[in-house]
């Protein structure tokens, strides 16, 4: 691994451990040339995942879109940044565990809603109202009744 400080092509690993998300390895490295230390993360390379949109167009999976949707749904809610990050990691793991090259956006939306239901019910309803495109109050009330009945 090339040193980010001096550019020396050879560095050594001082410490290796699983990262917080459990899906990557965190490595502390040291440069023998300039003696500076830095951290790298090693993650398994996956096949590019394609999302099939409602209009049948296809685009490459983008974790940022899920993060953005979950953050918007949790806006001004008592949900910690750490809990949001864990939820996004769970969502991503569920999507990749489907082991499909192409996944409909509707399936991704359902996975996000499942996770939000456990995280925060208000965030769930917010996300569902945008995702399911509630046309009127009755549709909205039906979704609320599902939550209240449980």
Whether 82 shows a pLDDT value over 70: the answer reads: yes
The H or E element spanning position 29 is strand 24-31
Q: Are 32 and 105 contained in the same domain?
A: no
Q: Are 132 and 61 contained in the same domain?
A: yes
Question: By residue range, what is the domain housing residue 34?
Answer: 11-43
Q: Are 89 and 32 contained in the same domain?
A: no
Q: How many Å apart are CA 63 and CA 88, to the nearest integer?
A: 8
Q: Are 39 and 54 contained in the same domain?
A: no
Whether 69 shows a pLDDT value over 80: the answer reads: yes
Q: Are 93 and 133 contained in the same domain?
A: yes
Q: Are 128 and 66 contained in the same domain?
A: yes
Helix, coil or strand: residue 91: helix
**Within-domain flag for 1:** no
Phi, psi (deg, nearest 5) at residue 102: -130, 130
pLDDT band for 150, please (50, 70, 90 cuts): low
- First vs last C-alpha separation in the chain: 52
Question: What is the number of domains present in the chain?
Answer: 2
Do residues 23 and 86 touch, judged by C-beta distance below 8 A? no
pLDDT tens-digit readout, 113-145? 999 989 998 898 888 888 777 767 777 777 777
Whether 91 shows a pLDDT value over 90: the answer reads: yes
**19-38 average pLDDT score:** 89
**17-35 average pLDDT score:** 88
State the burial class of residue 86 (Cβ atoms within 10 Å of its Cβ: 0-12, 13-18, 19+). Answer: middle
**Within-domain flag for 64:** yes
Phi, psi (deg, nearest 5) at residue 7: 85, 5
- Angle at 91 (CA atoms; ends 142, 52), nearest 5 degrees: 80
Question: Is pLDDT larger for residue 20 or for residue 70?
Answer: 70
**Within-domain flag for 112:** yes
Helix, coil or strand: residue 82: helix
Q: Are 78 and 55 contained in the same domain?
A: yes
Per-residue pLDDT, 45: 66
Q: Are 69 and 133 contained in the same domain?
A: yes
């Amino acid at each position: 691994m090339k040193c980010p400080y001096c550019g020396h092509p050879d560095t050594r690993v001082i410490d290796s451990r699983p990262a917080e998300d459990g899906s990557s390895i965190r490595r502390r490295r040291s440069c023998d040339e300039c003696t500076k230390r830095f951290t790298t993360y090693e993650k398994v390379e996956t096949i590019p995942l394609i999302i099939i949109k409602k209009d049948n167009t296809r685009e490459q999976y983008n974790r940022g879109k899920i993060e953005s949707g979950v953050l918007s749904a949790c806006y001004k809610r008592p949900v910690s940044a750490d809990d949001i990050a864990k939820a996004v990691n769970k969502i991503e793991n569920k999507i990749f565990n489907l082991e499909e090259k192409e996944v409909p956006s509707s399936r991704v939306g359902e996975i996000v809603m499942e996770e939000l239901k456990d995280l925060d019910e208000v965030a769930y309803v917010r996300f569902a109202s945008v995702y399911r495109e509630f046309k009127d109050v009755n549709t909205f009330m039906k979704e609320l009744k599902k939550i209240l009945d449980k």
